[in-house]
Structure 1
Amino acid sequence: MDVFYAYTYSTAGWLSLQSLALIAVPEMMTTMLEKESRQPTDIETYLSRCLGFGLLTIAILTVMLTGSIPLTASITDPVTTDDSDPKAPYAVPTMQVTTVFHFISAGYAYAWWAEKGQFAFAMGMLVPGALASLGIWCALFASSNGKISRKTGADKRTTGFPFANKEAAKKHGKGL
């Protein structure tokens, strides 16, 4: 499975998991994050469920905008994340925005975990941190079309400066 799609589906899964918890059991947040258990107020319930619906919407949009779900009538066309692909013109920008979101979420949860030391904040820090790392990896390595040489299998965009690959040059009959 392509790393880009793994990132897309794991982002959508994490956001969906958070949203379902906020929608179905809004009192769970006050139980997990406060020292003594109490019933949430009506406004806390309302805001919790609104946030849950918002996260679910972002999860669905992430999957749709990255081209993971083909939005065409034809099933035979392969889904790619090429920049010129009309099925997924927003794939890379969506990945970049969600990566920034995960990075900010992880940083915010870390700040709370450092102050309070609660397990819920640690989980809220680790999962988005891992997703942010995967998103950064995708931005660096999985979002551009590699120019792979058919002869050598090497990326043609690289140079030998400041260190030349003398063994590869000998192998292909090119002197340095």
Structure 2
Amino acid sequence: MDAISAYSLASLGWLSAQALPLIVWPSFVASLLMTEVPVPPVAVYFARALGLAQLGLALQTLVLSGLLPLNSVDDSNTASPYAWAALFISTLYHGGAAFYSYGCYYYRMQPTVTAFAVGCIGSSILAAFGTWCMLFGGGSRISRRTGADKRTSGFPFTNSTADKRKMR
């Protein structure tokens, strides 16, 4: 399993853990947030809509990463062309959610807002993992013969030893 597939599965798990209570018990979640005893139907609607949107983002990331194939032909050796786009969008989402949760936790600082701290930690871990996947998760470009990275250049320093070997 490559890094992008692991990130997609982790993102699916985190977003599903957030979405299922919103879909199954929207009035309970809304009653935790509101001081009014009867929960208005619009709060239930928005809670379920948010839960379904989170599940949609998680499943879309999973499908576009190539972990769930869209066709019946097994092309396991080829990467999905949309994996980087799905990785980028979901990393931006997790980064934004972490930033928002941290802001809400920091400015309220009450014992009852531990959910913001948990959300900040989970989203920060996924944002960092997604950033790592974008930087280093593209596979290996190490030469089998020399052991050097093929993506590096000699600018601004040249490899005089390699240049001498090429001259011979």
Establish whether TM, by shorter chain, passes 0.5: yes
User: Is contact 1:27-1:39 (8 Å) kept?
Assistant: no
Mark the CA change 1:154 to 1:38 in structure 2 (over 3 Å): closer, same or farther: farther
- TM-score norm. by structure 2 comes to 0.83
CA distance in 2 between counterparts of 1:25 and 1:67 reads 32
Q: CA deviation at 1:32?
A: 4.5
CA distance in 2 between counterparts of 1:27 and 1:114 reads 27
Alignment root-mean-square deviation, CA: 2.6
The percentage of aligned residue pairs carrying the same residue is 38
Give the paired residue count. 162
Which residue is equivalent to 2:76?
A: 78
Bigger helix share: 2
User: Is contact 1:22-1:48 (8 Å) kept?
Assistant: yes
Which residue is equivalent to 1:93?
A: 85
CA distance in 1 between counterparts of 2:131 and 2:37 reads 40
- TM-score norm. by structure 1 comes to 0.79
Matched, 1:137 2:132: yes
Q: CA deviation at 1:31?
A: 4.9
Q: SS of 2:47's equivalent? A: helix
Structure 1 range deviating more: 36-45 or 103-112: 36-45
User: Gaps spanning 5+ residues in structure 1: where?
Assistant: 82-87
Which residue is equivalent to 2:63?
A: 64
User: Is contact 1:67-1:79 (8 Å) kept?
Assistant: no
Counterpart residue identity of residue 125, structure 1: C
CA distance in 1 between counterparts of 2:12 and 2:83 reads 14
